[in-house]
């Protein structure tokens, strides 16, 4: 399965933020999306998630046939975790499982989901308002992957997590990548190189893949920075 | 010194002009045409500058004129005491209140924050030049009105002329005798915009002296005023020396101009603060749970965990309404001659109840709580925005909102019907039914209106700031239409029937629109 983007354009008034984006993201890989501040990474995600209307172009899922992307096909994890604070972690999950019942394959017990995300037993029945930042982040990710969408967009989700949580999340993402198309935006080069199978940069409104071509990590880094610097 | 004053004035003017352009850009429809490069548009800058300068001139006179006319002039007629003395009495005490609440020099305003803290301008020069400019503006702005209104009340011209100086001198004294010495001694500066309990007590005391004592026939006279004026001249001169020779304004402003102080007033009404307050209202104990599933489960937990926020005001409203009608019934019982007058209340004044139902409706607060504590986070999940989920939750919410608002509405509807019956009834018995249905439809109308507007124009962005000017305009329009109907004496029969038809038709149409468009419109503003 592939996420295909064709001739996607998005302008804010006269500023061309996304210029003719053409790209194919494949299932089974984690893509690291890198770009300078204001390059349009979040705009690209917002367009793919249909939070923002695009000016022209199209994007769709392609396996044997072309399929329009529906709400159930996409999970979008924001950099700041947003969870309904009046619910407990368990209640939030229960609600999400119930409204996605017919889409969840191999539905598990709520506690199994918590175990998968390494959320401690004593925290599961606490109000989300009393969760730490990292815990909220974990719940947000869990809810986004529970319904098993084909595409998962992560907008700098690990930036504010401690190193242990970061490692847990990295392992979790690696464990689910087989059945998903994962695009992961970050500013942390080491994280991108360590976690992602492909590096894609968004520069001057153009999305392009940076091939590693047997370079070692240091040289690959230099190549990425050079590409980001290009005028 | 003049250079500093000019730079600070230019800075003040720039953000004023930008605020004007920002407001223009916030207007519905117009904002779609105007580009963000508007801020560098020369024509608009000139236009903004003209408005800004005009405003500086108008504001120098406008508020002061209103103050002298409304607070001093009009109030003077409210008492039976000597007019000149009463005028001076109210003037002296309201001046004292004004000086406590705004000294100019130590008011933590944004222009001081920008200039001294952010742009690191020389604090001493900035403080003194801007302070004396404000004092001069105060004297010039007050003078025409103390003369005109004073002379109209037969206050001697010399006293009229002295009054603006008295205000200025007291402002100077508060700084020179109290604030600066207090800072020198204790290194503290109080935020005038957030008065302490002691200050509130002092203000209440001054209010009683100023506006309560004249009722008892106790007012100062011209001689006392003149003595006070001369004392203020002496103390004012001493204070002036203190203000001019003081060299540590930078230290004062470092203490005073914290972000918390400067934005204290805006913060109280900011959506962030509202959000924090609403978040505090989440009630949780392990017992509160729900046996429902899906949307109903989700919504029931929301209602149960916010029960105080949702029902507290409604309980109060209902009890107050029952109380008012009980009092009216007792009055009728004790004094049957009033029956005829009260009979007209439900028969002629039904249009008033549009405004009353508008005021009672909790739609705004409830939809605000829904956003802040629920949709703010949930709308970031794509699945929550699918038509099925949006409409499922919408239905549950609509039921709750209508039911909650119906509680006080029923109290009013039953109260009015009973009132009509007890005060002699009506020739047309249909009126009973019409009154009842009108009130209930008005309540349902406002509930539907607020919820549908929320779903169609969802105005908040991820930072819980209102970003949809159309939503604000609709809110104002609702208020104005309801307000417009106050005072309209229309026979209940025709008004009631028209109102009921309108409410039912509006509700049906807007529900249709919500079902059709909400899946597209109900999302976080970007």
Q: Quickly list H helices, B208-270.
A: 222-245, 249-256, 259-262, 264-269
- Residues B276 and B232 reside in one and the same domain: no
The reply to whether B16 falls in a domain is no
| Contacting residues for B155 by C-beta, under 8 A, at least 6 apart | B84, B87, B88
* Chain A positions in Cβ-Cβ contact with residue B383 (cut-off 8 Å): 71-72, 96, 99-100, 147
Report the pLDDT value the prediction gives residue B407, as an integer from 0 to 100: 95
* Chain A positions in Cβ-Cβ contact with residue B388 (cut-off 8 Å): 99
The whole-number average pLDDT for the span B202-223 is 90
B97 pLDDT above the threshold of 70: yes
| Interchain pair B526, A72: CB under 8 A | no
- Topology, domain A2-83+149-229: Rossmann fold (3.40.50)
Instruction: Please name the member of A51, A83, A85 whose beta carbon is closest to the beta carbon of B523.
Output: A51
| Contacting residues for A20 by C-beta, under 8 A, at least 6 apart | A7, A8, A9, A57, A205, A206
The reply to whether B34 falls in a domain is no
Residue A95: closest C-alpha in chain B? B294
- Residues B204 and B274 reside in one and the same domain: no
The reply to whether B307 falls in a domain is yes
Name the pTM for this structure.
0.70
Per-residue tens of pLDDT for chain A, all 231 residues: 899 999 999 998 778 899 989 999 999 999 999 988 888 899 999 999 888 889 999 999 998 888 898 888 888 888 888 888 889 999 999 988 888 888 787 888 899 989 888 888 999 999 898 898 888 988 988 888 887 889 999 988 777 778 888 888 888 888 888 889 999 998 888 888 888 899 999 988 889 888 877 777 788 888 888 877 765
Looking at residue B384, the DSSP 8-state letter turns out to be: G
B462 pLDDT above the threshold of 80: no
User: How close does chain B come to A219, measured CA to CA in Å?
Assistant: 38
B342-383 pLDDT, tens digit each:
887 787 778 888 888 998 988 888 888 888 888 888 888 887
Residue B387: closest C-alpha in chain A? A71
Asked which of B262, B282, B303 is the last residue of a domain, the reply is B262
8 A C-beta contact, residue B406 and residue B335: no
pLDDT band at B270 (very low <50, low <70, confident <90, very high): low
Poorest-confidence range of A178-192, B80-94, B274-288, B373-387?
A: B274-288
Instruction: Please name the member of A46, A50, A91 whose beta carbon is closest to the beta carbon of B301.
Output: A91
Residue A148: closest C-alpha in chain B? B383
Report the pLDDT value the prediction gives residue B278, as an integer from 0 to 100: 67
Domain count, chain B: 2
What residue segments make up the domains of chain A, in order of their start? 2-83+149-229
3-state class (DSSP) for residue B41:
coil
Q: How far apart are alpha carbons B382 and B373 in whole angstroms?
A: 18
The reply to whether B456 falls in a domain is yes
Poorest-confidence range of B16-30, B112-126, B410-424?
A: B16-30
Asked which of B262, B284, B300 is the last residue of a domain, the reply is B262
A208-218 pLDDT, tens digit each:
888 877 777 78
User: How close does chain A come to B443, measured CA to CA in Å?
Assistant: 28
- Residues B411 and B482 reside in one and the same domain: yes
B264 pLDDT above the threshold of 90: no
Q: How many CB atoms lie within 10 A of CB B255?
A: 15
Report the pLDDT value the prediction gives residue B404, as an integer from 0 to 100: 93
| Interchain pair B377, A143: CB under 8 A | no
| Interchain pair B378, A100: CB under 8 A | no
| Interchain pair B294, A99: CB under 8 A | yes
Is the CB of A82 inside 8 Å of chain B's CB atoms? Answer: yes
8 A C-beta contact, residue B478 and residue B449: yes
Asked which of B206, B232, B262 is the last residue of a domain, the reply is B262
Looking at residue B212, the DSSP 8-state letter turns out to be: I
Looking at chain B, the whole-number percentage of residues with pLDDT higher than 70 is 93
- Residues B222 and B342 reside in one and the same domain: no
Q: How far apart are alpha carbons A175 and A15 in whole angstroms?
A: 39
- Residues B410 and B510 reside in one and the same domain: yes
B273 pLDDT above the threshold of 70: no
- Residues B225 and B371 reside in one and the same domain: no
Which tokens go with A65?
């046939």
- Residues B257 and B276 reside in one and the same domain: no
The reply to whether B401 falls in a domain is yes
B322 pLDDT above the threshold of 60: yes
The range of the structural domain enclosing residue B318 comes to: 270-521
- Residues B421 and B488 reside in one and the same domain: yes
| Contacting residues for B380 by C-beta, under 8 A, at least 6 apart | A76, A78, A82, B462, B524
Instruction: Please name the member of B377, B382, B389 whose beta carbon is closest to the beta carbon of A84.
Output: B377
B265 pLDDT above the threshold of 60: no
The whole-number average pLDDT for the span B168-178 is 93
Is the CB of A201 inside 8 Å of chain B's CB atoms? Answer: no
- Residues B286 and B315 reside in one and the same domain: yes
Report the pLDDT value the prediction gives residue B36, as an integer from 0 to 100: 67
- Name the helix (H) or strand (E) containing A5: strand A2-12
In the sheet with A151-155, reading across from the earlier edge strand, the strands are A74-77, A151-155, A181-185, A29-34, A198-203, A206-210
**What is the ipTM, given to two decimal places?**
0.83
pLDDT band at B337 (very low <50, low <70, confident <90, very high): confident
- Residues B233 and B374 reside in one and the same domain: no
The whole-number average pLDDT for the span B319-330 is 92
B204 pLDDT above the threshold of 80: yes
Report the pLDDT value the prediction gives residue A216, as an integer from 0 to 100: 77
- Burial of B177: CB neighbours in 10 Å, binned 0-12, 13-18, 19+: middle
- Residues B362 and B416 reside in one and the same domain: yes
Helix B307-334 / helix B339-348 crossing angle, nearest 10 deg: 140
The reply to whether B515 falls in a domain is yes
Report the pLDDT value the prediction gives residue A181, as an integer from 0 to 100: 94
Buried b (16+ CB within 10 A) or exposed e, B319-348: eebeeebeebbeebeeeeeeeeebbebbbe
Report the pLDDT value the prediction gives residue B447, as an integer from 0 to 100: 92
Report the pLDDT value the prediction gives residue B117, as an integer from 0 to 100: 83
8 A C-beta contact, residue B274 and residue B372: yes
Put simply, the chain A residues between 140 and 199 with a CB less than 8 A from any chain B CB are 143-144, 147
């Amino acid at each position: 399965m592939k996420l295909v983007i064709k001739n996607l354009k998005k302008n804010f008034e006269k500023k061309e933020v996304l210029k003719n984006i053409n790209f194919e993201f494949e299932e089974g890989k984690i893509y690291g999306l890198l770009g300078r501040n204001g390059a349009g990474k979040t705009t690209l995600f917002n367009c793919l998630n249909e939070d923002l209307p695009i000016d022209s172009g199209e994007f769709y899922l392609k396996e044997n046939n072309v399929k329009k992307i529906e709400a159930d096909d996409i999970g979008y994890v924001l950099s700041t975790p947003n969870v309904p604070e009046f619910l407990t972690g368990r209640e939030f999950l229960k609600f999400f499982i119930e409204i996605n019942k017919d889409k969840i394959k191999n539905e598990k017990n709520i506690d199994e989901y918590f175990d998968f995300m390494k959320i401690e037993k004593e925290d599961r029945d606490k109000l989300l308002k009393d969760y730490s930042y990292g815990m909220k982040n974990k719940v947000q990710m869990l809810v986004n992957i529970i319904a098993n969408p084909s595409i998962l967009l992560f907008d700098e989700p690990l930036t504010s997590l401690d190193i242990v949580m970061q490692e847990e999340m990295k392992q979790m993402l690696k464990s689910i990548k087989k059945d998903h198309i994962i695009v992961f935006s970050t500013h942390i080069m080491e994280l991108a190189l360590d976690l992602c199978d492909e590096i894609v940069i968004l520069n001057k409104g153009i999305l392009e893949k940076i091939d590693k071509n047997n370079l070692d990590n240091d040289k690959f880094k230099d190549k990425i920075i050079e590409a980001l610097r290009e005028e | 010194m003049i250079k500093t004053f000019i730079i600070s004035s230019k800075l003040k003017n720039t953000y004023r002009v930008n605020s004007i352009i920002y407001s223009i850009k916030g207007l519905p429809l117009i904002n779609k045409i105007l580009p963000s490069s508007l801020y560098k548009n020369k024509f608009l800058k000139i236009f903004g500058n003209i408005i800004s300068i005009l405003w500086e001139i108008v504001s120098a006179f406008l508020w002061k004129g209103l103050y002298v006319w409304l607070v001093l002039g009009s109030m003077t007629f409210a008492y039976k005491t000597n007019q000149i003395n009463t005028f001076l009495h109210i003037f002296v005490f309201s001046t004292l209140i004004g000086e406590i609440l705004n000294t100019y020099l130590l008011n933590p305003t944004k222009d001081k924050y920008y200039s001294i803290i952010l742009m690191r301008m020389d604090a001493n020069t900035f403080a003194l030049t801007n302070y004396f400019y404000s004092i001069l503006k105060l004297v010039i702005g007050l003078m025409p009105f103390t003369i005109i209104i004073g002379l109209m009340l037969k206050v001697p011209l010399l006293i009229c002329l002295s009054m603006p100086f008295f205000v200025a001198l007291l402002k100077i004294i508060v700084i020179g005798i109290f604030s600066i010495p207090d800072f020198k001694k204790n290194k503290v500066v109080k935020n005038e915009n957030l008065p302490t309990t002691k200050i509130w007590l002092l203000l209440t005391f001054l209010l009683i002296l100023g506006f309560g004592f004249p009722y008892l026939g106790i007012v100062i006279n011209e001689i006392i005023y003149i003595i006070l004026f001369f004392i203020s001249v002496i103390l004012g001169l001493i204070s002036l020396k203190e203000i001019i020779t003081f060299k540590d304004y930078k230290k004062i402003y470092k203490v005073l101009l914290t972000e918390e102080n400067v934005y204290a007033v805006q913060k109280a009404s900011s959506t962030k603060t509202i959000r924090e307050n609403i978040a505090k209202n989440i009630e949780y104990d392990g017992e509160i749970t729900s046996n429902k599933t899906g949307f109903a489960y989700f919504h029931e937990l929301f209602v149960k965990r916010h029960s105080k926020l949702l029902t507290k005001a409604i309980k109060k409203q209902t009890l107050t309404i029952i109380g008012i009608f009980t009092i009216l019934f007792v009055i009728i019982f004790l004094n049957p001659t009033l029956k005829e007058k009260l009979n007209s209340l439900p028969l002629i004044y039904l249009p008033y109840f549009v405004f009353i139902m508008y005021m009672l409706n909790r739609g705004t607060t409830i939809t605000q709580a829904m956003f802040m504590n629920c949709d703010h986070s949930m709308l970031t999940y794509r699945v929550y925005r699918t038509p099925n989920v949006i409409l499922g939750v919408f239905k549950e919410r609509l039921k709750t909102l209508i039911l909650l608002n119906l509680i006080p509405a029923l109290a009013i509807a039953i109260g009015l019907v009973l009132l009509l019956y007890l005060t002699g009834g009506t020739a047309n018995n249909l009126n009973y039914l019409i009154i009842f249905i009108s009130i209930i439809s008005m309540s349902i109308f406002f509930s539907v209106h607020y919820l549908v507007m929320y779903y169609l124009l969802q105005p908040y962005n991820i930072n819980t700031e209102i970003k949809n000017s159309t939503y604000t305009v609709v809110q104002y329009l609702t208020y104005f239409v309801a307000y417009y109907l106050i005072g309209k004496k229309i026979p209940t029969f025709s008004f009631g029937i028209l109102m009921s038809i309108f409410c039912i038709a509006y509700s049906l149409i807007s529900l249709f629109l919500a079902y059709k468009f909400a899946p597209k419109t109900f999302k976080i503003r970007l």
